[in-house]
Amino acid sequence: MNNAVNQFLEKARNTLNQAYSNAKETFYSITSTPSATVQQIANYVMNHPDSKVTTKHYLGITLSFYELAQGQMKYYLETNGPKILQLDVHSNFHSVVAYRSYRDQLSLNTPVKFPNLNQSQ
């Protein structure tokens, strides 16, 4: 009985997260707000020629650490093969994205709003 309730709650949570992601994506497309998904940002950092990459091996697991500075934006990415473990994006010492695979339940395809860097703060 308890297992069935847990499965139901998990399915409901996933459905709500997906609905939230879809609504957020629609809002951003209508308002033309600059946004990108965690997966898109990670791909950008991994494939950028200016990214500094460090690879380390721990107990048979290969982890890659990426750092990239682009103007006011600073990117930090940790991966285990194709899996994104951590992604941080900072702008002017403000956190824009702080994704953790162990904590965040949102999809990697949920859009993240980026600040307008042309506005004075």
Nearest to 89 by CA among 52, 24, 41, 54: 41
pLDDT in tens, 38-72: 888 899 999 999 999 999 999 999 999 999 998 88
Tokens, residue 78: 């940790």
User: Which band of pLDDT confidence, cut at 50, 70 and 90, is reported for residue 120?
Assistant: very low
The pTM assigned to this predicted structure is: 0.65
